Amino acid sequence: MDDLTLYENADARRIADWLHTQLADSLTHTEGSIAITIPGGSTPFPILEDLVARDLDWSRIAVWPNDDRIVPEDHPASNTGKMRKLFEPAGAEVVTLTVMERVPPFALTWLGMGADGHIASLFPNTDPKVSDPEPIRRITPDPLPPEAPFDRITLTLPSLLASGTILFTLGGSAEKRAVFMAASHGDHDLPVARLLAATSQPVTCFT
């Protein structure tokens, strides 16, 4: 990859600083609202709690989950429910993913990654493709992660790639870093590698 920037050992505040700068710039250069897509899971929420307190016009920002578990929004496993509680008091719109939803281009795609190379809920068994004609899919991971054994709804690779910039946060995992770097060099064909091989925008990774 030609346009990849890596940051090592950054804490939640440093990542929130980077996100704040990106979103402020997007709002300055865009009339009306912008859309962003963000990951669920445990790693992003300390960053999000810092970010949502920043001075941004959240009423102009629509927040899309990368994916979610097929559970009610008041279920502890719901990404959307947690995001709604965090962002809606600040004035942001939080979108509930449905297979009929029209997906906009994003100002920012922020992704996590599993040690198996999955991004959003695009697990290796789902064989995601950059040519997928669908913007959103309902899928079943195989194997089901024991910590969240639910069917999923997820943005597809084309939806994730339709973005001004892409951010990865790996949560300090050496195993994930190794998978990500191999993907950036095209050394395997896991979902993260398929996305990185198709990027034309800047990619930033906080390891």
What are the sequence ranges of the domains in the chain? 4-206
pTM: 0.95
State the pLDDT at residue 116: 95
State the pLDDT at residue 143: 85
User: Is 84's pLDDT higher than 80?
Assistant: yes
User: Is 156's pLDDT higher than 80?
Assistant: yes
State the pLDDT at residue 97: 96
User: Is 1's pLDDT higher than 80?
Assistant: no
pLDDT tens figures, 3-59 = 999 999 999 999 999 999 999 999 999 999 999 999 998 889 999 999 999 999 999
According to CATH, the topology of domain 4-206 is Rossmann fold (3.40.50)
Mean pLDDT of 197-207: 97
pLDDT tens figures, 164-195 = 999 999 999 999 999 999 999 999 999 999 99
Q: How far is CA 189 from CA 45, 81, 123, in A?
A: 29, 32, 12
Q: Are 153 and 80 in contact (CB under 8 A)?
A: no
pLDDT tens figures, 59-83 = 999 999 999 999 999 999 999 999 9
Mean pLDDT of 122-134: 96
State the pLDDT at residue 12: 94
State the pLDDT at residue 188: 96
State the pLDDT at residue 191: 98
Q: Coil, strand or helix: which one is 19?
A: helix
Confidence of residue 147 (pLDDT cuts 50, 70, 90): confident
Q: Coil, strand or helix: which one is 53?
A: coil
State the pLDDT at residue 154: 97
Q: In sequence order, what are the residues at sequence separation of 6 or more whose Cβ sits closer than 8 angstroms to the Cβ of residue 10?
A: 206
State the pLDDT at residue 101: 82
State the pLDDT at residue 43: 83
With pLDDT > 70 as the criterion, what percentage of the chain qualifies? 100
Rounded Cα gap, residues 10 and 3, in angstroms: 20
Q: Are 94 and 83 in contact (CB under 8 A)?
A: yes
